[in-house]
Each structure stands twice: as structure tokens, then as C-alpha cells.
């Protein structure tokens, strides 16, 4: 009698539409496309943008409100406002120490996809993308200066939002939609467990961005990729030193 082999297939779960909306909105929040204090589009606007019913949007918003990611003000003049997610830095640090393997994997993943995107960006970048990246770099320099003088959560978030836009801008310049999605996913996987403990910025937060952009401008893919890898490893080293405190 032949032994039954375990099936490689499993029942398919139909995903409710509101869960897909929650996932899209979480991604936008996690990537800094909306910052704490920002007003989100209205319920009707979100319904039209996402091509779902207003009831679906309402259900998704209730989930995000329950998780403390947005505040909902009802009635005339109301709306949805992005909130800073509730975080206990000390508990987060303990959790990271318990999950060193996950942190290592997140950084490895980010290095692989971001260095690849940066190399392609150096080969394929266009003038308009270089101009956008240069503007972001100027903004990051100003944001870091302000954050070092005023180490508030708001100042830190302002820099981190620009930092994410810069890295996503490089991925956009690679002209590869799948790679763009992979970079977004890699940054989410790193910042979800890691970003919360960066309650303040270090002076070296902006160190590698100028040299990365210069290598992209000069169409030097190998230098651009190696500069990006060094930058990500610098962040890894900063994190490891923080966890030792």
C-alpha cells in the first residue's frame, strides 16, 4: 500500500476587500508617503482612488484607527489624520535582541535588492530623476541639521520620510517595477522592527547619500552599488551599537 504524500496545495482563502485596503494604506504610512499629522483623503476620495465601496473604506479605516495609526474625527470638518504609531522603545529594544536572526535577514534582504536597484539606476537614470534626487538630498541635509538641534520625534520623522523618498527615488530610476516593489518591501521589513528604536538621529545619518548620488550621476554602477551596501551596513552597525546599550 502506497503511503499518502502530503499535499502541496491548501485551501484558498478569499481575502476581504477591506484587508487589501488596509494593506495598501499601511504600506503608504510605513513608507512615509503620509506623515504623522497629515490629513488623509476623504472617505469618498479613498473610495474612488482605490475603486472600492465607501463601506469597505470605512471598515479599513476602523482597523487602522484601532491600531493607533490614524485618528478619525467625525462630523462636519472631520476626517482622517495620521498618528505616530504607539511605541515603547525599551520593549522594542528587548524584542529586537530576542530576534537577532530576523534583523540579520532584513538587512541581508535590503542589501541584495537595494544594491541591485542602485546599479541599474546608474545605468538607466534620466535627468529628471537626478534632479528629483538632488532636491531630496538638499532637503535631507536641512532636516538632519534641524533634527540634531531639536531631537524630537517630529524632526526625526521628517528626516526618515525624506530618506525613504530618496531610496525609493533611486529604485524608481532603475526603471523596473518589480524591483521597485522589492525595494519598498525590503525597507518595510527593516523599518517595521527597526525604525521604532531610532528615536533620535546620529550625525552620520546622511553620510553616504551624496556619494551614492554622485556615482549614479556618473553612470558608475559598481561604485554606486558598493556605496549603497556600505551605507546599509553602516545603519546595521549603528543598530547593533544601540542594542548593546
From first to last of its 245 residues, what are the pLDDT tens digits of the chain? 555 666 678 787 788 899 999 988 988 887 777 877 889 999 999 999 999 999 999 999 999 999 888 999 887 777 899 887 666 666 666 777 777 788 889 899 999 999 999 999 999 999 999 999 999 999 999 999 998 888 777 787 788 888 989 999 999 999 999 999 999 989 887 776 565 555 567 788 888 999 999 999 999 999 999 999 999 999 888 888 777 76
Question: Residue 98: CB partners within 8 Å, gap ≥ 6?
Answer: none
Q: The whole model's pTM is what?
A: 0.78
CATH top class, domain 89-243: mainly alpha
**Separation between Cα atoms, residue 21 and residue 48, nearest integer Å:** 12
Q: Indicate the domain borders of the chain.
A: 17-82, 89-243
| pLDDT at residue number 98 | 75
Strand, helix or coil at 69? coil
| pLDDT at residue number 223 | 98
Question: Residue 119: CB partners within 8 Å, gap ≥ 6?
Answer: 221, 222, 224, 225
Give the DSSP H or E segment for 173.
Answer: helix 153-173
Q: Which CATH number fits domain 17-82: 1.10.10.10, 3.30.70.2740, 3.40.109.10, 3.40.718.10?
A: 1.10.10.10
| pLDDT at residue number 205 | 84
Q: By the 8 A CB rule, do 182 and 204 touch?
A: no
| pLDDT at residue number 192 | 63
Q: By the 8 A CB rule, do 174 and 113 touch?
A: no
Question: Residue 70: CB partners within 8 Å, gap ≥ 6?
Answer: 40, 61, 64, 80, 81, 82, 83
Find how far residue 173's CA is from the centre of its chain.
17
| pLDDT at residue number 92 | 67
| pLDDT at residue number 60 | 94
Amino acid at each position: 500500500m502506497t503511503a499518502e504524500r502530503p499535499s502541496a496545495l491548501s485551501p484558498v482563502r478569499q481575502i476581504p476587500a477591506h484587508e487589501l485596503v488596509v494593506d495598501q494604506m499601511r504600506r503608504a504610512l510605513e513608507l512615509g508617503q503620509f506623515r504623522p499629522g497629515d490629513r488623509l483623503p476623504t472617505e469618498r476620495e479613498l473610495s474612488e482612488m482605490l475603486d472600492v465601496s465607501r463601506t469597505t473604506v470605512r471598515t479599513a479605516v476602523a482597523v487602522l484607527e484601532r491600531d493607533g495609526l490614524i485618528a478619525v474625527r467625525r462630523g462636519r470638518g472631520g476626517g482622517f489624520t495620521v498618528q505616530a504609531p504607539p511605541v515603547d522603545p525599551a520593549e522594542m529594544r528587548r524584542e529586537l535582541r530576542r530576534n537577532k536572526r530576523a534583523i540579520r535577514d532584513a538587512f541581508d534582504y535590503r542589501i541584495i535588492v537595494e544594491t541591485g536597484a542602485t546599479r541599474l539606476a546608474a545605468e538607466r537614470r534620466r535627468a529628471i530623476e537626478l534632479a528629483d534626487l538632488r532636491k531630496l538630498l538638499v532637503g535631507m541635509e536641512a532636516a538632519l541639521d534641524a533634527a540634531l538641534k531639536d531631537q524630537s520625534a517630529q524632526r526625526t520623522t521628517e528626516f526618515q520620510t525624506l530618506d525613504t523618498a530618496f531610496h525609493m527615488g533611486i529604485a524608481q530610476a532603475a526603471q523596473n517595477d518589480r524591483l521597485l516593489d522589492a525595494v519598498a518591501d525590503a525597507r518595510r521589513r527593516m523599518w517595521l522592527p527597526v525604525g521604532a528604536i531610532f528615536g533620535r538621529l546620529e550625525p552620520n545619518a546622511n553620510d553616504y547619500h551624496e556619494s551614492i548620488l554622485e556615482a549614479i550621476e556618473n553612470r558608475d554602477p559598481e561604485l554606486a552599488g558598493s556605496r549603497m551596501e556600505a551605507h546599509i551596513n553602516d545603519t546595521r552597525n549603528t543598530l547593533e551599537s544601540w542594542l548593546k546599550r
